[in-house]
Every structure is written in structure tokens, then in C-alpha cells.
Homo-oligomer: A and B are copies of this chain.
Amino acid sequence: MKSGLSFLVAARQCEIGELEQLALTSELVSVIGRLIHALQRERGMSNVFLGSQGTRFGDPRRQQVAECEQVEQRVREHFDTLDTDASRVRNGARLFSRIAFVLHALDGLPALRQRIGAQALPPEEASAAFVRLIAGLLSVVFEAVDSATDPDISRALVAMFNFMQGKEFAGQERAFGAASFASGHTDLARQQQWRHLIESQERCFEVFADFSERPVLDAWHASQQDGGLAELERLRRIGCAPSTDGALDANLSQAWYEGCTRRIDAMKLLEDQLAVHLRGLCRRKIAQARTELRDQQAILETLSREAGAAGPGTPAHYGPQLERSILGMVQEQAHRLQAMSDELETVRAALDERKLVERAKGLLMARRRLGEDEAYKMLRQTAMNQNRRLVDVARAVLAMADYL
């Protein structure tokens, strides 16, 4: 029959198991980040390719497709290593269901690429398909982040997720701005949507900054300068500030596209740093937990020896002093776990915004029989019209659920 002390050890082993799971999750997040970056490049090139009637980016696009296929293979291999048989993976049902969506979308990529190559669809449609796939990949990352049980790793994952999401908004802004400039004119609705993309990405980078430490933040600010943010801000001002006639210089399209690309590539370098940081953090945490487990086991062995050689299966009889030190260990562990889970809850509150938006979207889909994209657009349009944050609109929608 198991003793209290064996459960003390089991609790610690559970912690280690969860950390090891988190290390795998972190690897998955990193490799998904690589695929998202590759797909973002392919999306941008496909846009220009289609917009220029196939005259620009023909070869680079083909090379980028090859690159994407390679990284996709890595992601699929990672999915394969996930232990789908056991219920070992926390949050498994939701994670796997998001992965099912992603794999379905990846299976559709060859057909999409064929149509792009044959210039058989408008750039917006091609872009939308990539946006959906990347959103699906980010959902996988989000579920992985949502399953973290260690507050420090959760903090790093929250920062990473928001960075990735912000980078994706930057990618969408690149496409949107390039198309706006290329078309030679803009209007109020376009300007509003452009500003919304800027605000969405800034909100993500704020959360990222809140959950990052000094060195990372310094690297972030430096990378923004290297990325030529000042020049981009000038082009943003031209492109999305109200103007009298709505005319845009189509020649700026290329400068905008290239400027954005430099900035996004700089982001990718920082994302790689975040991944390295995350990997190191997991490794250190696992090593520390293993050391603590060994120390604990050593103490317990000493205690058992001092308690005398009670036969196996009989409850040990410790003296009152040993009793107290065992009780101390038990209580110390319970309080440490309690403190960890309190801290975790605080960190996880940062995930609530996205959950609220998802929930409001789901409500609109169910009550108004809308598709996912339509529901999101409706929320976004309200936010833009009322000049409110998306999450505030989502909260209002949920509060008014009975009226819908």
C-alpha cells in the first residue's frame, strides 16, 4: 500500500512529467513559428505574383514553395510524435481538434498553389486561404500555451504567442498596404481597416512586452529600429491617414512591401531568440525539479532509516520530531504548488482576451447562422465603427447574448 511519502514523490514526478510535456510543446511551437513565417513569405509573394499578372516573383515564389514544403514536413513529423493514444496530453481534445483543422488545410495547399501558379484566382482569395491556414496554426499554438502548468514557462509562452500573433497582423498589414498602394487610391473604409491592423498588432506587442524581460525587450526595440520602422511609419501615415482625394502613389507599393518584409524578417530573428530562451527555460526547470526530487528522496530515505526497519507494507512509526519534519515537507510542497497555481492563474488571465473574442464569435455563428469569417468581420467592423477594442465589443456581445 502506498505511503504518504510515496505520494509526495509522485506529486514531484508529476511536475517533472508536466515540464517534459511542456518542453515538447515548446519545440512544437517553435517549428510552427517557422512554418508560419515561411507561409507568410509565400502569401506575400503569391499576392505580388497574382497582382502583377505573373510578371513578378515567379521564381522566388517557386523557391519559397519548396521551402514551405520542407518546413511543413517538419511540422507533420512533430504532430506525429504527439502521443495521441494516451490522455497524457493536457488539453488533448482541443489541441488535436485544432491540429485536425491544420492538417486538413495543409492537404489543400497543393491545389491552392496550382491555381495560384495558373493565375486562376484573385489575390484576395489566395491571401484569405493563407490567412485561414496561419490562423489555424496560431490556434494550435494557443491551445499549447493554454495547457502550460508552470507559471514561468506559461509566461514565456504567452509572450511568444502574442509575438507570433502580432507578427501575423504585421504580415496582413504588409499585404493590405501593398494592395492599397498598388491600386493607386484609398478610401475611408480601407484606411479604417489598415488602422485596425496596426492597432491589433500593437495590442499583441504590448502583451508580449508585458510578459518579457529586459534583455528581450531591448532586443525587440533594437530589432524595430533595424527593421526601419521610421520609414514604415511615414508610409503608414501616407497610406492610412485621411487625405482629400484618396490618391496614392502606386510606386510606393514596392518600397512598402520591401520595408515590411525587412521588419518581419527582423521579427523572425527575435522569435528565434524567444524559442531559444524558451528551450533553455524548460531545460533549467526540468533539471531543477529533478535535483529537488533527488534531494527529497535522499531526505525520505534518511527518515525511513531513522524510523527503524519496519517491514514492507507496515506503516512506519516515526518519532514525534520526524513526524513534524515530514509534516513540514508535506505542507511546504502543498503551499509551493498552491503558490504556483495562483501565479499561473494570473498569467493565464492574459489569454482571456482571445477567449472572449472566440466566444463572442461562436455566439454570433450560432445565433446569427454566420460563418467564422463573417462573425469575425462583424465584430471587427463594430470595433472599427465604434472606435473600441475588439475585446470590448466581444464582451458587450456576450453580455447581450439573450438579445441576439
Which residues of chain A have a CB within 8 Å of any CB of chain B? 1-8, 10-15, 17-18, 21, 76-77, 79-80, 84-90, 92-104, 106-108, 149, 315-316, 323, 326-327, 330-331, 333-335, 337-339, 341-342, 345, 355, 358-359, 362, 365, 372
Contacts and interface: CB of A to CB of B under 8 A. Distances in A.
Q: Which 4 pairs show the lowest CB-CB distances between chains A and B? A: A17-B87, A4-B103, A14-B92, A10-B84
B342 A96 contact: no
A355 B338 CA distance: 9
B96 A10 contact: yes
B93 A15 contact: yes
Nearest to A84: B10
Nearest to A315: B107
A339 B360 CA distance: 11
Contact of A76 (B1, B104, B334): B1
A330 B100 contact: yes
Contacts of A89: 14
Contacts of A13: 84-85, 87
Contacts of A21: 87
Given A17-B87, A88-B87, A359-B342, A337 B7 contact: no
Contact of A338 (B6, B11, B358): B358
A108 B362 contact: no
Contacts of A17: 86-87, 92
B84 A2 contact: yes
A339 B326 contact: no
Nearest to A8: B100
A401 to B, nearest CB: 11
Contacts of A18: 87, 92-93
Q: With a 10 A CB-CB cut-off, give which of A1, A11, A80 has the most chain B CB atoms.
A: A11
Given A18-B92, A94-B334, A97-B333, 7 more contacts: A11-B97, A14-B93, A21-B87, A88-B88, A94-B337, A94-B338, A342-B359
